[in-house]
């Protein structure tokens, strides 16, 4: 049923190179040492801190970056280096989004508060959108973060599909 509306399918298999609205894709190699962005809304910071403490040994093997307050709290709790952007509502979410677009973040762990509207909701939506565009894994709670961190791909180099921006620029003119 799913494949009925898809072109280029073979025997019910999903297409591998079908472009999304004129965007073609290429492959990129993600290093074994991941660059992990960590973000948490105020009411979720304690959950992220507890989760990170449980996984300190795994996280120590990777490069960590976070929005302002979250980064400071993680550094204090874990005694690990964490590069801190500015606070999310002041533009930190957008800074992380730029890093994703520049392929400088490999995974996003974002414990967001589903019960509380945020004054910077458009920035949050933009961050999640750019993560989807650049095909990076996103965890939005402890359970999904546990799944990502326990993946065999966490500690090995692997290939992933990303937008082919060079071709996009050539075809734009």
Q: Dihedral (C-alpha) 143, 144, 147, 150: value to the nearest 10 degrees?
A: -90
d(CA 131, CA 160): 13
d(CA 96, CA 168): 23
d(CA 71, CA 162): 27
106 is catalytic: no
d(CA 1, CA 118): 38
- Catalytic entry in 93, 113, 121, 155: 93
Active site residues: 93
């Amino acid at each position: 049923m799913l494949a009925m509306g898809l072109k280029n399918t073979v025997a019910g298999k999903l297409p591998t190179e079908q472009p999304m609205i004129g965007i073609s894709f290429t492959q990129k190699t993600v290093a074994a040492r991941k660059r992990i962005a960590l973000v948490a809304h105020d009411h979720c910071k304690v959950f992220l801190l507890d989760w990170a403490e449980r996984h300190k040994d795994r996280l120590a093997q990777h490069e960590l970056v976070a929005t302002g307050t979250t980064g400071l709290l993680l550094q204090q709790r874990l005694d690990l280096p964490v590069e801190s952007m500015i606070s999310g509502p002041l533009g930190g979410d957008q800074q992380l989004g730029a890093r994703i677009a520049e392929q400088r973040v490999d995974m996003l762990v974002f414990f967001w508060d589903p019960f509380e509207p945020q004054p910077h909701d458009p920035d949050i939506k933009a961050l999640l959108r750019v993560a989807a565009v650049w095909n990076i894994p996103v965890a939005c709670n402890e359970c999904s973060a546990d799944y990502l961190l326990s993946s065999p791909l966490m500690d090995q180099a692997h290939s992933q599909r990303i937008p082919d921006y060079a071709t996009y620029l050539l075809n734009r003119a």
